[in-house]
């Protein structure tokens, strides 16, 4: 294991990829790897990019990578796409738009399926980010699609959250409802050469002015045309500016505190669930279920009993 | 067309027939399927009667060949005057080899040339470009400069043949080379007959040989319309293609809808540029697929003709009947060819070719039986050509025009396809037109869904492919005599390129490329004259395209699955 | 989330743009539970191999209809070996003359799927080969 880790840290892509796989699969081995990697994390600037399908996130990230590379940064990208809830499979096509960077040793692109587990995805993504962080990528970009709770969970642990929208899609209301707007640090109006772009930007700015009054960071609205790269240089400078703000204001520390708290909570929950699964036999669970169904007990007392077994058993 | 009381009686009698005769039989001996469908999922009834076509107005909906709405054909005498052009797509390896194959085909009775270019040529790369490795001369002839073009047509008088060139993104440049060869042969432009495919929209959807983004690509296309209208009046400057869209998995309805919607986009772009659709409309041509469902295909061609005529007249206000005609070339469906029991493909191609003829095609390519495995040999392409000749000379179907008209099923199906296609075109209009629909991935998704559905049907056994999921045999296909492309071609081409770059006047090349760059940056300038100058100076295709890549940018595909 | 997914990279090397087959197979493999990374058109062997490494895939599937299959298979296999990723299995589909199949297999291609191959056959082969 040490050998795998050493190779990954020294930049061997095969090793990095293998570590990511182990970590993503959530196996015991993967957790141990993460424990060893942990001390090396915390150096990368973690950027979350989200928005509805078709707004141009991948194209935008492709241009972002180009910009960051041209100033010598090493960039990791994690592209998350939904897995089929029925078959568990996934079609992962985001990297297609970034393929010109595929052979650049300073770029590492990894595609992930959501694998159907709600809470687990956010945890898995954060863990993959840690691997890339520890292996020397100083910018790690996570791309997720959508504006639902899932996506909020994934990107809320990022240092900088970028929300991408385009004029004419009419989904602005959805985004506001989902709570994604509240965690946006930078708003990007892409396809800004289309009708309605200016209006959309103005609406956004008004909403931001209202919602972020008094806050230390007023999210900027950046107009881009990802296809030809227009506006991306401004986006990069806003990212830099946000990073400086995070450091100077202590906000970074606050966010990372929240992140760690969340991590511990999630890991705790998962660990407990795992141990219970290990301890609780199927027949026993089946018996509990029958008892509840027959009205002889209620689910809550079942939980108390199981937890009691857990602590007593000294697992 | 039918009297109301007669129809009523037919209706009653049909119901009786179904009740008494059919249902009694079905009770003992059911039909093989619950539902019968065309290859495009249109439900097909047991029987069609006058009832199904009672609203047809013969004069308005069918009319006469050569007259609006052209449902029955675009020429008044059709195949009684002249057979369709027998035009076999060919090209591979070097210009010399292709030249030899063209002469062979012309000797065997082919009446028009159809040039296949290799992928680097189609995508604007010279044979020495890193991306060209492994691809030079494989799917067509490698053309790097005017020199290759001269060899390609050596001994072939351009005023005596009609030449169709399957070239899209760099079509204007390759066309310029052809014109330059004609000039050298002393043939004036107004005598030249032929077609350049030049249909970039379908490349984004289904074929993949794009270079530049949509907007500058449309500019190149309208430049060719303008130049052609003025100087090369007999040339079809575009072949708006449905063939590839169908091959990518579309249904017959989608094939018609997306092709005509592409046509609408081109006409709109040209009109915007100030060109008169009554003039350039005459030189638009189309290219369709001839697929397996024999009767559906015939109905499809008729529906397409009628729908296009209506679009040109009603939507674009065209008054010149010649600009309303849907003239088309057809190719039998490559994707239906099987690698298993390849000789069966001769039968498939025959049925498909017959459908194209009964559908009134102006020009036809028949696939060779070994094409699921490799490019055709001389022998297999000869059989493909003979298939057309036997239909033309022996089958009798060409003795009268549009013989299937009046069939209750065919007329009903023609109406149905027109209706469904129109609905899809309306949807595309709602999205904002074809370019927008492609940007949004709408078209690609429609096609992919159809393709996936088709595959599932085949794998479930709902759709039978003889020799593949039914009637299979054990066979050893390694003994088949297939064409092998000479691997040393790439080397030869590269050497020839190097030699060319030595002998030509490089100062002149630099100068013409600079002129081209300036012209390309000005949207209002027609680039054809600049391409002519550049190719005559022996600038290579790659060099010319690189200038354009710089100015126009390059297109990256969108994926929606 | 203790699950091991089979990961497959599907790529179109070179300039051929006919992607119906590649997309249908990609979708089919997804529908049987695999994670399919689709890299799209115009990929160089270098891009394909590097992507396969980063994605830690079990299998690379190439789709070639332009006759250049031998060239691309050879290059991809060479690169996989060079970079220490020889454990990744290579399969290829498209228009491939049957007489070329033995040569491809000798090179190291695990399987060749010709026209008409059902997706289920591709999926089953991948499952078997990954088990090993």
Measured CA to CA, the distance from residue B340 to residue B333 in angstroms comes to 16
Range of weakest confidence among A206-215, A234-243, B220-229? A206-215
For residues B176 and B538, the answer to whether their CB atoms sit within 8 Å is no
- In 3D, which of A255, C99, A285, A72 has the Cα closest to residue B483? C99
Task: Give the number of beta-carbon pairs within 8 Å between A and C.
Answer: 98
Q: Kindly tell me if the per-residue pLDDT of A187 is higher than 60.
A: yes
Count of residues in chain A: 315
Q: Name the residue of chain B whose CA is nearest to C26's CA.
A: B561
Name every residue in A having a CB less than 8 A away from some CB of C: 13-14, 16-18, 20-21, 24-27, 83-84, 87-93, 95-96, 99, 102-103, 108-111, 113, 115, 117, 120-121, 123-124
d(CA B186, CA B174): 19
Residue numbers in C near B335 (CB within 8 A): 20
Q: What whole-number distance in Å separates Cα of residue B44 and Cα of residue B168?
A: 37
Instruction: Give the chain C residue whose CA is nearest to the CA of A111.
Output: C55
The chain B residue lying nearest C117, using CA atoms, is B468
Give mean pLDDT, residues B317-334.
Answer: 97
Q: Look at B249 and C20 and tell me if their CB atoms are within 8 Å.
A: yes
- List CB contacts of B153: < 8 A, sequence separation 6 or more: B99, B178, B181, B185
* CA distances to B110, B162, B225, B364 from B382, in Å: 10, 20, 35, 14
Q: Residue A293, Cβ neighbours under 10 Å: how many?
A: 9
Asked whether residue A117 carries a pLDDT value surpassing 70, the answer given is: no
Contact yes or no for B286/B264 (Cβ under 8 A): no
Inspect the interface and report whether the beta carbons of A54 and B559 lie closer than 8 Å: no
Percent of chain C with pLDDT strictly greater than 70: 97
Comparing alpha-carbon positions, the chain C residue that sits nearest to A88 is C33
Distance CA B90, CA B96 (A): 13
User: Strands, DSSP E only, in B171-277?
Assistant: 193-196, 235-236, 238-241
Rounded-to-integer distance, Cα A96 and Cα C41, Å: 9
Q: Tens digits of per-residue pLDDT, B61-93?
A: 999 999 999 999 999 999 999 999 998 888 778
Taking an 8 Å cut-off on Cβ atoms, the answer to whether A93 and B561 are in contact is yes
User: For residue A315, what pLDDT band results from cuts at 50, 70 and 90?
Assistant: very low
CA distance A173 to chain B (A): 21
Q: What is the pLDDT of residues B260-310, one digit of tens each?
A: 999 999 999 999 999 999 999 999 999 999 999 999 999 999 999 999 999
- C129–B contact, CB cutoff 8 A: no
**Helical H segments across B18-107, by residue range:** 23-28, 78-81, 95-107
Chain mean pLDDT for chain B:
94
| CB burial readout B306-342, b (16+ within 10 A) else e | bbbbbbbbeebebeebebbbbbbbbbbbbbbbbbbbb
Q: Measuring CA to CA, which residue among A270, A278, A275 is closest to residue A121?
A: A270
From the CB of residue B98, how many other CB atoms can be counted at a distance below 10 Å? 26
Cα distances (Å, whole numbers) of residue A52 to A307, C36, C63: 41, 21, 30
B557 vs C40, C68, C72: nearest CB: C40
Predicted local confidence at residue A124, as pLDDT: 86
Provide, rounded to the nearest whole percent, the portion of chain B with pLDDT above 90. 87
Q: What is the pLDDT of residues A9-48, one digit of tens each?
A: 999 999 999 999 999 887 788 889 999 999 999 899 999 9
> Do residue A115 and residue C3 have CB atoms under 8 angstroms apart?
yes
B140, B91 contact by CB (below 8 A): yes
CA of B343: how far to CAs of B359, B367, B413, C108, in Å?
Answer: 25, 12, 31, 31
Indicate yes or no: CB of C55 within 8 angstroms of CB of A17: yes
Asked if the model's pLDDT at residue B129 lies above 70, the reply is: yes
Residue B260 CB contacts under 8 Å (≥ 6 apart), including other chains: B240, B304, B307, B308, B311, B421, B425
DSSP A19-57: HHHHHHHT-HHHHHHHHHHGGG-S-SEEEEEEESTTS-H
Is the pLDDT at B481 greater than 70? The verdict is yes
Is-contact A140 A129, C-beta < 8 A? Answer: yes
pLDDT given for residue B560 in this prediction: 64
A91–B561 CB contact, under 8 Å: yes
Question: How many residues are there in chain B?
Answer: 561
- Give contacts of A93 with chain B, Cβ < 8 Å: 559, 561
Q: How confident is the model at residue A180 (pLDDT cuts 50, 70, 90)?
A: low
- The neighbours of chain C, by the rule of 3 or more Cβ pairs under 8 Å, are A, B
Candidates B440, B556, B560; nearest CB to A97: B556
DSSP code of residue B200: H
- Chain C residues whose C-beta is within 8 A of a chain A C-beta are 1-5, 26-27, 29-40, 43-44, 46-47, 50-51, 53-56, 83-85
The C-alpha atoms of residue A78 and residue C54 are separated, in whole angstroms, by: 11
pLDDT of residue A156: 78
Segments in B35-94 forming alpha helices (H) = 78-81
What pLDDT is recorded for position A174?
Answer: 56
Cα torsion B514, B515, B516, B522: sign: positive
Residue of C28, C30, C46, C67 for testing the chain B interface, max B β-carbons within 10 Å: C67
Residues in chain B whose Cβ is within 8 Å of chain A: 213, 440-441, 553, 556-557, 559-561
Residue A234: C-alpha distances to residues A118, A186, B79 (Å)? 34, 11, 65
Q: Which residues in chain C are closer than 8 Å to A83, comparing Cβ atoms?
A: 35
Does B501 score more than 90 pLDDT?
Answer: yes
pLDDT, one tens digit per residue, over C11-46 is: 999 999 999 999 999 999 999 999 999 998 999 999
For A193: left if phi > 0, alpha if psi spans -120 to 50, otherwise beta; the answer is alpha
Confidence of residue B410 (pLDDT cuts 50, 70, 90): very high
Q: What is the pLDDT of residue B475?
A: 87
Q: Above 90 in pLDDT, residue A307?
A: no
pTM of the model: 0.88
Distance CA A30, CA A23 (A): 4
* Interface residue ranges in chain A relative to chain B, Cβ cutoff 8 Å: 54, 59, 91, 93, 96-97, 227-228
Using an 8 Å CB-CB cutoff, list chain B residues near C98: 339, 373, 476-478, 480
* Residues A69 and A184: beta-carbon distance below 8 Å: no
CA angle, corner B199, sides to B194 and B204, nearest 5? 155
C-alpha of A11 from chain center: 22
Q: Report the candidate in A45, A40, A262, A25 with the shortest Cα–Cα distance to residue A131.
A: A40
Q: What is the pLDDT of residue B476?
A: 82
Question: Whole-angstrom Cα distance, residue B179 to residue B227?
Answer: 12
Average pLDDT, chain A: 87
Euclidean distance between CA atoms A41 and B509, whole angstroms: 56
Q: Is the pLDDT of residue A116 over 70?
A: no
- Interface residue C28 vs chain B (CB under 8 A): yes
Q: Do C39 and A27 touch (CB under 8 A)?
A: no
pLDDT in the model for residue A314: 46
Pick from B316, B283, B280, B288: which is nearest to B304 by CA? Answer: B288
- pLDDT of A122-143, one tens digit each? 788 989 999 999 999 999 999 9
Which of B117, B200, B208 to mutate against chain C (most C CBs within 10 Å)? B208
| B556/A59 touch (CB, cutoff 8 Å), yes or no | yes
Distance in Å, alpha carbon of B479 to nearest chain C alpha carbon = 7
Q: Are the beta carbons of B557 and A96 separated by less than 8 Å? A: yes
pLDDT at A172 over 60: no
Answer yes or no: do B455 and C28 touch at CB < 8 A: yes
Across the interface, whether the CB atoms of B448 and C23 are under 8 A apart is answered yes
Contacts of B436 in chain A (CB under 8 A): none
Which tops the pLDDT comparison, B439 or B32? B32
Q: In a 3-state reduction of DSSP, which class is residue B114?
A: strand
């Amino acid at each position: 294991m040490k050998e795998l880790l050493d190779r990954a840290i020294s930049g061997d892509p095969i090793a990095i990829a293998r570590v990511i796989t182990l970590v993503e699969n959530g196996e015991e081995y993967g957790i141990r790897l993460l424990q060893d990697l942990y001390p090396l994390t915390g150096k990368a600037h973690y950027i979350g990019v989200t928005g509805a399908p078709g707004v141009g996130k991948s194209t935008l990230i492709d241009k972002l990578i180009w910009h960051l590379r041209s100033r010598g940064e090493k960039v990791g990208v994690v592209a998350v796409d939904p897995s089929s809830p029925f078959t568990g499979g996934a079609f992962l096509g985001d990297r297609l738009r970034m393929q010109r960077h595929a052979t650049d040793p300073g770029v590492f692109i990894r595609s992930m399926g959501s694998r159907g587990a709600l809470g687990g995805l956010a945890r898995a993504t954060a863990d993959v980010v840690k691997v890339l962080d520890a292996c020397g990528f100083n910018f790690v970009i996570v791309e997720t699609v959508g504006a639902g709770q899932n996506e909020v969970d994934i990107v809320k642990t990022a240092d900088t959250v970028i929300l991408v929208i385009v004029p004419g899609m009419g989904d602005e209301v959805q985004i506001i409802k989902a709570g994604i707007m509240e965690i946006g640090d930078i708003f990007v109006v892409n396809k800004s050469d289309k009708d309605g772009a200016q209006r959309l930007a103005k609406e956004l700015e008004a909403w931001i002015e209202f919602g972020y009054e008094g806050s230390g960071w007023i999210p900027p609205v950046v107009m881009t045309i990802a296809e030809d790269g227009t506006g991306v240089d401004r986006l990069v400078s806003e990212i830099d500016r946000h990073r400086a703000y995070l450091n100077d204001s202590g906000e970074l520390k606050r966010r990372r505190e929240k992140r760690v708290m969340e991590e511990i909570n999630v890991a705790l929950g998962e660990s407990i669930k795992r141990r219970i699964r290990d301890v609780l036999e199927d027949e026993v669970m089946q018996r509990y279920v029958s008892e509840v169904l027959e009205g002889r007990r209620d689910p809550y007392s079942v939980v108390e009993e199981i937890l009691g077994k857990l602590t007593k058993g000294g697992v | 067309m039918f009297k109301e009381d007669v129809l009523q009686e037919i209706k009653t009698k049909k119901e009786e027939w179904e009740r008494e005769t059919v249902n009694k039989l079905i009770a003992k001996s059911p039909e093989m399927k619950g539902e019968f469908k065309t290859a495009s999922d249109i439900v097909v009834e047991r029987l069609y009667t006058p009832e199904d076509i009672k609203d047809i107005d013969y004069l308005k909906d069918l009319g006469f060949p050569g007259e609006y709405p052209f449902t029955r054909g675009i020429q008044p005498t059709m195949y009684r005057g002249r057979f369709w052009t027998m035009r076999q797509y060919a090209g591979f390896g070097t210009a010399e080899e292709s030249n030899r194959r063209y002469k062979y085909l012309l000797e065997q009775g082919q009446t028009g040339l159809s040039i296949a270019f290799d992928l680097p040529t189609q995508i604007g790369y010279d044979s020495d470009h890193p991306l060209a490795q492994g691809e030079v001369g494989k799917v067509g002839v490698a053309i790097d400069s005017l020199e290759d073009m001269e060899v390609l047509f050596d001994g072939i008088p351009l005023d005596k043949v009609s030449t169709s060139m399957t070239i899209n993104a760099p079509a204007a440049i390759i066309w310029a080379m052809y014109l330059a060869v004609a000039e050298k042969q002393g043939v004036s432009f107004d005598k030249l007959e032929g077609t350049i495919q030049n249909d970039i929209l379908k490349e984004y959807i289904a074929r993949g040989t794009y270079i530049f983004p949509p907007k500058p690509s449309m500019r190149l296309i309208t430049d060719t319309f303008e130049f052609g209208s003025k100087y090369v009046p007999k040339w079809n400057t575009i072949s708006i293609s449905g063939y590839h869209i169908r091959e990518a998995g579309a249904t017959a309805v989608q094939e018609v809808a997306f092709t005509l919607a592409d046509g609408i986009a081109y006409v709109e772009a040209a009109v915007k540029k100030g060109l008169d659709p009554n003039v350039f409309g005459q030189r638009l041509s189309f290219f369709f697929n001839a697929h397996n469902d024999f009767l559906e295909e015939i109905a499809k061609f008729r529906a397409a003709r009628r729908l296009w005529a209506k679009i040109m007249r009603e939507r674009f206000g065209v008054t010149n009947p010649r600009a309303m005609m849907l003239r088309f070339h057809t190719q039998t469906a490559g994707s239906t060819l099987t690698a298993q029991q390849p000789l069966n493909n001769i039968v498939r191609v025959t049925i498909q070719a017959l459908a194209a003829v009964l559908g009134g095609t102006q020009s036809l390519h028949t696939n060779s039986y070994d094409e699921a495995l490799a490019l055709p040999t001389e022998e297999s392409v000869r059989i493909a050509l003979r298939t057309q000749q036997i239909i033309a000379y022996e089958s009798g179907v060409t003795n009268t025009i549009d013989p299937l008209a009046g069939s209750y099923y065919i007329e009903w199906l023609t109406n149905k396809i027109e209706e469904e296609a129109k609905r899809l075109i309306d949807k595309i209009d709602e999205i904002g037109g074809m370019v927008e629909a492609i940007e949004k991935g709408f078209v690609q998704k429609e096609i992919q869904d159809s393709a996936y559905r088709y595959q599932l049907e085949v794998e479930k056994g709902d759709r039978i492919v003889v020799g593949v999921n039914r009637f299979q045999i054990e066979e050893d296909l390694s003994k088949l005599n297939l064409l092998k492309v000479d691997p040393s071609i790439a080397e030869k081409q590269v050497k020839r390129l190097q030699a060319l770059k030595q002998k030509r006047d490089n100062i002149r090349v630099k100068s013409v490329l600079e002129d081209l760059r300036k012209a390309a940056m000005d949207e209002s300038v027609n680039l054809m004259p600049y391409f002519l100058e550049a190719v005559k100076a022996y600038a290579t295709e790659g060099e010319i395209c690189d200038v354009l890549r710089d100015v126009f940018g390059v297109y990256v595909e969108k994926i929606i699955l | 989330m203790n699950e091991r997914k089979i990961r497959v990279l599907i790529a179109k090397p070179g300039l051929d743009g006919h992607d119906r087959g590649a997309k249908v197979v990609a979708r089919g493999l997804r529908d049987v539970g695999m994670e399919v990374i689709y890299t799209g058109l115009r990929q160089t062997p270098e891009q394909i191999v590097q992507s396969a490494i980063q994605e830690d895939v079990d299998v690379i599937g190439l789709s070639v209809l332009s006759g250049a299959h031998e060239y691309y298979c050879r290059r991809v296999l060479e690169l996989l070996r060079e970079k220490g990723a020889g454990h990744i299995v290579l399969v290829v589909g498209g228009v491939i003359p049957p007489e070329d199949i033995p040569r491809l297999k000798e090179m190291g291609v695990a399987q060749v799927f010709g026209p008409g191959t059902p997706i289920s056959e591709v999926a089953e082969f991948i499952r078997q080969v990954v088990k090993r």
